[in-house]
Each structure stands twice: as C-alpha cells, then as structure tokens.
Chains A and B, each alone.
Chain A
C-alpha cells in the first residue's frame, strides 16, 4: 500500500501507529545506510537510528513541507545526530571496545584510501571522476560539511561546492537510468 507524503505526515501528526510503520518500513534502511557509514559500528548506528526515529516522530509538527521534502528533513536530522554521536566521547569509548568485525572495518579506513566500502556505493561512485568521488565520499557518505571537506582536500570552498553539484547532476542521470 502506497501512502502519499501529505497523507503520511497527517497520520504521523495524529499519532497513528500505521503511519509510523509505513515511515519506518519505507525509510529505515535508507537512513540506516547513512548513519552506519558515518558512525561505522552497528551498535552506535542502532542507537542513532533509534534516536532519529523518535525525534522524527516527536517533532513531526516542526516539519514544514514548504521548505523541502520529508526525506530531506529526516536526512538532515539523522545526519546531525550521527555527526554529534561521532564527535561525542561515547564514540571514542565504543571504538576501544570494538569487536573483530569492526576492526576489519576500521582497518580499511585507517590503512588504505578505500573509504566507501560497499558494492552498490562503489558502482555508483565509479561513474564519477576521482575529484568528484573525493568530495562525494566526504560530504555525502562521510558526514563532512562542505567547509570541512574543503579543508580536508585543500581545495577552495567554491570548488567543493561546484564538484558536489556536478556529482549530484551526474548521479541524478545514473539513478534515473536504473
């Protein structure tokens, strides 16, 4: 059953459980992908996703459809929670008690240049040139702000902005083809 975005928002505002079910089924995996790539461990990702859904549900009244799509609002809320979590102390402690699986993950983050590591993402990024890949990895998958990415890549901020734009334009084409 497909529920339109305005109808879904109405259901959520009414505290309807079906609305929440639909929201969760439609978007939890998309948001979890974003969270997981930023916080990098399953345990923390679960925590962040939980906080995000509670926040989305509890603050649905502050979403304004004039300012953008529901997903954009949820994405930003979720990204912000992920970034806060990464920067918080909790994160550094969690890293110390990593299990082997997480260490495998960290290994390729710390010892090689491979930052984005799943097949789907790789295939997509391969459509971009190297410069564009760098900015997309940081800004979209890494949770960097554009200014942070500019600093990290030693590029002028304007260049980062135009590269992001060019990358998204290209991805738009690629995604709509599929």
Chain B
C-alpha cells in the first residue's frame, strides 16, 4: 500500500478517534515515524477534530472547576518570607486600618460573589438556549406531522373523492386497503388499513382494471400515510398484487391481496 492509499483508507481518522486496537495503533505510530507526509496528514486531522470540538463546545457549570481543583494537591510555590520592621502605630491608625481592611474584604467578597453568580447564570443561559433549540426542533417535527395529517384529512373528507374498499382475497382474508378516487380530477390515493409486511425483494403494486385490462398505478411499501398513486379517469376495479421490487409490467394475479369494484 502506498502512502496516499494508506492515508485515504481512513486509518488515521480511526487512530485520532481512538478506534484502533493496540497492535493497529503501534503500526500507525511506526508509519508516522517513517513518513513525514503521514505525520502532516495526522496533524491536519487532529487540528480538524480539535477545531470541531472547540466550535461545538458547551461551557460546564463554573462550580465544577473548584470542585476538581479541590481534589488536586498542587505543588506550593515557596512562600517568600519578608521581614518588615514593625512601625509603631497609634490606636486611631489601627482602627482606621482595621476598618478599611474590613471594607476591602467585604467589597472583594461581594465582587467575587457577583462574578460567580454571573458566571453560573451565563452557563445556565447556554444550557437553556440549547434546550430551547431542542424544543423548537420537536415542535417543527410535530408541526410537520400535523401538516401531513391535515393534508390527508382534506382528501378523506372531500366529497369529490369516492372511497372504494378493497377487501382481502383468499390469499389473505384479513387484508384491507382503501382507494380514494376523484373521478373529475382523476386523482387516486391509497390508504392501507391492513397489509402484511413484505421481504425487501418484494413490493406491493396497485392496478386499475380498465375494460378488463390491468393498468399499472404504481408500486408502494407499507406506510401509514395516504399515498398519491398514478391518476386514472376510468376503472371498473382496483387491486393490489405482490411483485418483485420495482414492480411488474403485468400483474401476478395469483398473488393478489385485496380487490374492490369501483361501482362504475
């Protein structure tokens, strides 16, 4: 395997994502040592992953840092010991110093307190924004579903559409499906009530019987939706057969699942 093939195999990405066995890692490390091109490519991939992580970063709660640091024993820096000659001070000055120290301490404490509250609010806001986006996504999803259902309902409730019930044949007595047919606009919709699951090689196909001849109205898979099918102006009956995926030119009548007369 040459170097460009090696690179394009995706093994370096797997290496960066920690997705290799110890043996495979060793091999990659040998290759990095030997080939500067591979080392450069690896560095590029690592930078991309790092950029990606920085770009999609989420700030953790601020209290966490302190919690972690509390569990670490950092090496203490050698404390400088400064010897100062103590000046003689009067009591008044002592009180003044004590008072200003107190004020300084209280102020610093307040500043710190506000700062941490601000930080934690910020982090909560980030989380809320992310949560808000998730709710918006859900809303969009549900809204889309609703629109689909409304569109379906419009067809089902439209008096211009005739409902033709297709009942199960001897092949599957419990099968049931309906055709919604608008003769004026020639639109045909199919709604499955009950059809069995098919293997991946097969698909259902809808036929219209026109002057005793079956006409292909399209193939379909199991679905809860009201499905638009090929339009047709005249049909004495509708029927569904099982055909190889993609459909057939002529129906395999022995596989017929449901059939219904249009009443024309």
Contact = CB atoms under 8 A, between A and B. Distances in A.
Nearest to B12: A165
A175 B44 CA distance: 12
A90 interface: no
B27 interface: no
A53 B54 CA distance: 17
A176 B137 CA distance: 28
B58 A57 contact: no
Contact of B56 (A15, A66, A69, A118): A118
B107 interface: no
A123 B133 CA distance: 13
Given A76-B18, A117-B133, A165-B10, A175 B56 contact: no
Interface in A104-143: 104-105, 107-108, 111-112, 114, 117-121, 124, 139-141
B134 to A, nearest CB: 5
B138 interface: yes
B60 A105 contact: no
A113 B37 CA distance: 39
Given A46-B64, A114-B141, A118-B56, A164 B131 contact: no
Nearest to A176: B51
B198 interface: no
A33 B51 CA distance: 12
Contact of B58 (A32, A54, A72): A32
Contacts of A80: 18
A15 B133 contact: no
B261 interface: no
A168 B48 contact: yes
Most chain-B CB neighbours within 10 Å: which of A20, A66, A107, A165? A165
Q: Give the interface residue-count category, chain B.
A: 35 or more
A146 B138 contact: no
B13 A16 contact: no
Contact of A140 (B8, B10, B17): B17
Nearest to B48: A172
18 contacts: A29-B60, A32-B57, A32-B59, A49-B68, A50-B67, A66-B29, A69-B50, A75-B49, A75-B53, A111-B138, A114-B141, A117-B133, A124-B55, A139-B19, A146-B17, A164-B14, A175-B55, A178-B55
Given A68-B16, A111-B138, A162-B10, 9 more contacts: A30-B53, A71-B50, A75-B50, A108-B138, A117-B130, A119-B133, A140-B17, A146-B14, A164-B13
